[in-house]
């Protein structure tokens, strides 16, 4: 009796997945398209802002490097990170529900990409810290600035490393599940 109930639950969930498959395929495709657009825009912003003295709007050059670093950070680094995460998430979702789908390069190298971004996050925070500290004379402001700059960086690095570890362990489990079904 108990085995029959479990089989019925499995059958119902398989039917539900089959019904939702076109919608799932649409959403995973949409997430990947948005991810690639964010990556493209992030790279374009970085090239535009780092290409010369005309930073910002209407060709007005920034007076100090702080603003340029803040603008480059806000537009390019975070765009690329969120774009890569979106592409990997879309590929992972499609890999889970589509039996014929093979993981893309971004998902296969996801662990390494996340580790690289963790390292870049630390480097980028130290780079910004250096420019911000040079512009402040009083020690109290340097300490106060460290908290909003470094604490999110520490959180981001820990999240990236944890997600990389999860991704490293979950992909073989999904592959094994697909071979059993």
pLDDT at 146: 66
pLDDT at 32: 93
The pLDDT tens digits for 39-81 are 998 888 777 776 765 545 544 444 555 566 666 666 677 788 8
Tokens describing residue 147: 């908290």
Residue 131 pLDDT exceeds 80: no
Q: How many CB atoms lie within 10 A of CB 151?
A: 11
Cα gap 106→87, rounded to integer Å:
7
pLDDT at 6: 54
pLDDT at 158: 93
Burial class (CB in 10 A: 0-12, 13-18, 19+), 114: buried
pLDDT at 59: 46
Mean pLDDT of the chain: 77
Can you tell me the mean pLDDT for 5-18?
59
Residue 8 pLDDT exceeds 60: no
Chain centre distance of CA 157: 12
The candidate with the shortest Cα–Cα distance to 69, out of 44, 49, 89, is 49
Q: How many domains does the chain have?
A: 1
Which domain, by its residues, includes 40? 2-180
pLDDT at 144: 63
CB 89 within 8 A of CB 114: no
Q: Of 32-36, 89-93, 137-141, which range is least confident?
A: 137-141
Chain centre distance of CA 167: 13
CB 87 within 8 A of CB 108: no
The pLDDT tens digits for 75-125 are 677 788 889 889 999 999 888 888 788 888 888 898 999 999 899 888 888
- Give the single-character DSSP code of 62: P
The candidate with the shortest Cα–Cα distance to 73, out of 45, 113, 38, is 45
pLDDT at 17: 64
The pLDDT tens digits for 21-33 are 788 889 989 999 9
């Amino acid at each position: 009796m108990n085995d029959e109930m479990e089989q019925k639950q499995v059958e119902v969930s398989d039917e539900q997945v089959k019904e939702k498959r076109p919608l799932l395929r649409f959403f995973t495709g949409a997430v990947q398209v948005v991810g690639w657009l964010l990556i493209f825009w992030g790279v374009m912003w970085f090239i535009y802002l780092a290409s010369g003295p005309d930073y910002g709007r209407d060709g007005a050059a920034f007076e100090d490097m702080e603003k340029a670093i803040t603008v480059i950070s806000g537009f390019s680094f975070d765009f690329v990170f969120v774009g890569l995460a979106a592409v990997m998430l879309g590929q992972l979702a499609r890999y889970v529900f589509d039996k014929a789908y093979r993981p893309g390069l971004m998902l296969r190298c996801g662990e390494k990409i996340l580790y690289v971004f963790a390292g870049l996050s630390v480097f980028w925070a130290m780079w910004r810290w250096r420019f911000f500290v040079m512009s402040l004379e009083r020690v109290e402001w340097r300490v106060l600035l460290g908290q909003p700059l470094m604490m999110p960086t520490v959180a981001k690095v820990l999240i990236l490393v944890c997600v990389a570890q999860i991704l490293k362990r979950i992909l073989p489990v999904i592959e094994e599940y697909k071979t059993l079904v």
